[in-house]
Amino acid sequence: MKTDSIFYRLFQIYPAALFELLGQPIENAQDYRFLAVEVKQLAFRLDGVFSSDLPINPIYFMEVQFQRDERFYARTFSEIFLYLGENGSEREWQFVILFAKRSIAPPLPAAYRLLLPNIKIIYLDELSGAKDQSLGIQIMSLVVCSSSEAKIKVPNLLSTARNLEEEALQNEMIDLIKKILIYKFDKLNREELEAMFGLSELKQTRFYLEALEEGKEDGIQLGKQVGVQEGIQLGKQVGVQEGIQLGKQVGESRLVLRLLTKKFGELGKIEQRIAFLSSEQLEALGDALLDFAKIDDLENWLKANK
């Protein structure tokens, strides 16, 4: 799941979620804007900064962590103090860290223990135990909860989102919930997701299209790393342009096979049939496989696209 983009979008459209986590009045969010900030000196990038034009308001630095990183504190504090140095800020500040679970949180090094009053650590998988969860916390819990828990949470979550006063915020929140479900239930096709959660047409949502584009971008990058290099070698034998084109096709084929294998397991002789598809057919298959529920759907697609 693309967790960075999900949390960035949540805090961008609903900054009150931060203050819900901190147990502060959500009205505090009215004075803040949430931005991803690049610290120019060493091209460091902070996950997010809540900043306010009111000098009395503290700055909140935000990091979301889903993998263990032993240098996490050294890296993030370097970014924070570079930011403070560049902006000449004399304000109070707090560092809010969202770890997916306790086991991936490294111990705080002795060099940074004096900063403990400025650090607030939250474990996302423990949020579900809280009573009277607010909308922002419910969405964050949905990202890390199990699929079985998600099936219970989603109806109530959608109901809460649909009862928001601002129509624009309603739509943004519902779209964000749909994006999380597309990633969490990646083995279900679109129709099954719509039926399971009573959702409207998923394929027309911006986040479905974004997920599709992310898949295409992965394919382009893989093609550059794998296919093009092979193409250059082949180019020495069959001509550079033909070799590069063939290399791109190899990359596309490998990406599609990787996605299909992840979804259905070993493909057997089907792999050979996919290897003979053209670039146009591979691109079409890459789009179509998002809706495949079983291996028969792939077989039928291949028969229809000989």
Q: Hey, where are the domains in the chain?
A: 3-206, 216-304
pLDDT of residue 88: 64
> Residue 12 contacts by C-beta under 8 Å, 6 or more apart in sequence?
34
- Rounded to the nearest 5 percent, the helix, strand and coil shares of the chain are 65, 10, 20
Q: Which residues pair with 51 in a beta bridge?
A: 33
Separation between Cα atoms, residue 6 and residue 9, nearest integer Å? 5
Separation between Cα atoms, residue 256 and residue 277, nearest integer Å? 11
pLDDT tens digits for range 115-151: 999 999 999 989 876 556 788 998 999 988 888 888 8
98: amino acid identity, one letter: L
Separation between Cα atoms, residue 24 and residue 78, nearest integer Å? 27
pLDDT of residue 33: 84
Q: Which residues pair with 52 in a beta bridge?
A: 32
Span 158-177, average pLDDT = 88
Span 267-272, average pLDDT = 80
Span 38-49, average pLDDT = 61
Is residue 123 classed as helix, strand or coil in its secondary structure? Answer: strand
pLDDT tens digits for range 99-117: 999 999 999 999 999 999 9
- DSSP assignment of 7-75 equals HHHHHHH-THHHHHHTT--GGGGGGEEEEEEEEGGGTEEEEEEEEESSTTSPEEEEEEE-S--TTHHHH
pLDDT of residue 177: 87
pLDDT band at 249 (very low <50, low <70, confident <90, very high): low
pLDDT tens digits for range 203-222: 555 545 555 555 555 444 54
pLDDT band at 306 (very low <50, low <70, confident <90, very high): confident
